[in-house]
Amino acid sequence: MNSNIDSVQLRELHFELLYPAARIQARVEAIGQALSQSHAGKNPIFLSILSGAFVFASDLIRCYQGDCEVSFVKLSSYSGTASSGAVQTVFGLGQNLSERHVVVVEDIVDTGRTLHYFRGLLEEQQPASITVVTLLRKPDALEFPVPLDHIGFDISNLFVVGYGLDYDGLGRNLPGIYQLKEQL
């Protein structure tokens, strides 16, 4: 990785800063506060979709005030900078979610395929409620209907890295979010 605050190179691609860490943290705190109110006394279970959402989820649960549980599901549909078009469950839903208040934590909604598929799996378990939180959404890329309760930021259709999101395995450790520089 070759990086400074404003730009980073990952393999052959150049990215520029979109959201610095402080801006992200302010949004995460606001969403955490809203969930603390809406889910007070419900002992929600936060289901973080791996790998990309692990950083967001770890910050979000620390902004949640009250009892909660945390679990992880691994789904994938991306290869490089383009969706592969198929969602594969790599490992998943170990526990019974029936009658539980579930908060799904996603890093980014692109086509919506991943969340659309996952919501179907979740609904089979008949939870008491499903609340969906995504840090990022690309409205111009959306192809599948996905109800979202909290969105950190709406972004353009450019590939992004950082704060858990990767390009070819790299960039997850960047504290800010960086977007692909458009070729001139």
Q: Which of 83, 93, 129, 149 binds ligand IMP (CB under 6 A)?
A: 83
> Can you say how many angstroms the Cα of residue 19 is from the centroid of all Cα atoms in its chain?
15
Query: Cβ of residue 81: shortest distance to ligand IMP, in angstroms?
Result: 7
Q: Which stretch binds ligand IMP (CB under 6 A): 8-16, 39-47, 64-72, 106-114?
A: 106-114
113 binds ligand IMP (CB under 6 A): yes
Q: Where are the alpha helices (DSSP H) in 69-135?
A: 113-124
Q: Choose between 65 and 79: whose C-beta lies nearer to ligand IMP.
A: 79
Sign of the C-alpha dihedral computed for residues 23, 25, 30 and 34 taken in this order: positive
Q: Which stretch binds ligand IMP (CB under 6 A): 22-30, 34-42, 91-99, 109-117?
A: 109-117
Q: Give the angle 10-26-71 at the CA atoms, nearest 5°.
A: 75
**Which has the closest alpha carbon to 82: 129, 34, 32, 138?**
138
Residues at the site binding ligand IMP, with contacts judged by CB under 6 A = 52, 77-78, 83, 106-114, 159-160, 165
Q: Which residues are part of the catalytic machinery? A: 110
